[in-house]
Amino acid sequence: MYDNMFALTKKDTTDFLVFFFSFCL
């Protein structure tokens, strides 16, 4: 359960970073 939540949070964080850098660049 916690592993799945962590994985989801990690994926969301990665997607956010990709979106953030894409927006800045």
The domain in which residue 17 lies consists of: 1-25
State pLDDT tens for residues 9-20.
Answer: 788 889 888 988
Rounded to the nearest integer, the mean pLDDT of the chain is: 79
Q: Quote the pLDDT of residue 2.
A: 62
Distance CA 9, CA 6 (A): 5
Q: Quote the pLDDT of residue 17.
A: 87
Q: Quote the pLDDT of residue 7.
A: 66
Torsion angle of C-alpha atoms 17, 23, 24, 25, degrees rounded to 10: 100
Domain count, the chain: 1
Q: Which residue has the higher pLDDT, 11 or 7?
A: 11
Q: How confident is the model at residue 1 (pLDDT cuts 50, 70, 90)?
A: low
